[in-house]
Amino acid sequence: MRAVLWDLDGTLADSREFHWRSWRETMREAGVEISEAQFAASFGQRNDAILTTWLGSAATPDRIREIGDTKEALYREYIEREGITPLPGAAEWVKRLHAAGWRQAIASSAPRLNVQVMNRVLGFAGAIEAFVGAEDVARGKPEPDVFLAAASRLGVSPVQCIVVEDAQAGLEAARRAGMRCIGVGGGRLTGADIRIVSLAELPDDAFDRLVA
């Protein structure tokens, strides 16, 4: 039993602009202006962590839940209406791994409903077997909870799982979970077993080598 645990935003698809637009509009309605630099610093974190920073003393649990739910509903509306395409190499690898018998899950800091909507719009239905989102675990990345939960749902031992991530916090979470990992993207990433700019350049035997 072997598995690949995919991060979503920035790894399988580039949804950054949808997140930025939905956060900016939602926070403006809440009376708070955020800069793109503030948004960039928050990318990949859970909503409770993001809003605690942005709202300060006004960050009550009810307020965090209300604003977070509004933002995510707007985000899903954008995805459904405008569509989104997989990043280079992503769709090919998901289909190829599925055909080769690998189990696959998406393990994300995003709400589970977002993950499921994106999975459908991206066309991965049938290949991705499990979804773990923010509400499924007590602690977000860099804690290992989301990846351990995904491995458990697939019934695969952590040592037989490979994580694919584009963020340093995700790579650290994979390491803490005892999993090998592939770092994707142009940012500064450390600790990955394989480091690539795009999934399209990943060697054909990369996954097999990591669990050999």
Answer yes or no: do 64 and 165 share one domain.
no
**Per-residue pLDDT tens for 17-69?**
999 999 999 999 999 999 999 998 887 688 999 999 999 999 999 999 999 99
Answer yes or no: do 74 and 157 share one domain.
no
**Per-residue pLDDT tens for 85-96?**
999 999 999 999
Q: Find the mean pLDDT for residues 70-77.
A: 96
Q: Which residues are catalytic?
A: 7, 9
Alpha-helix residue ranges (DSSP H) falling in the chain: 16-29, 36-42, 47-55, 61-82, 90-99, 112-122, 145-154, 168-176, 206-211
CB neighbour list of residue 155: distance below 8 Å, 6 or more residues apart:
1, 103
Answer yes or no: do 124 and 178 share one domain.
yes
pTM: 0.88
CB neighbour list of residue 195: distance below 8 Å, 6 or more residues apart:
182, 183, 189
Question: Which run of H or E residues covers position 102?
Answer: none
Return phi, psi of residue 168, to 5°: -60, -40
CB neighbour list of residue 119: distance below 8 Å, 6 or more residues apart:
106, 125, 128, 131
Provide the domain limits for residue 94.
3-14+85-211
Answer yes or no: do 43 and 146 share one domain.
no
**Per-residue pLDDT tens for 124-174?**
989 999 999 989 999 989 999 999 999 999 999 999 999 999 989 999 999
Task: Answer yes or no: is pLDDT of 198 > 90.
Answer: yes
CATH number at residue 27: 1.10.150.240
Answer yes or no: do 32 and 96 share one domain.
no
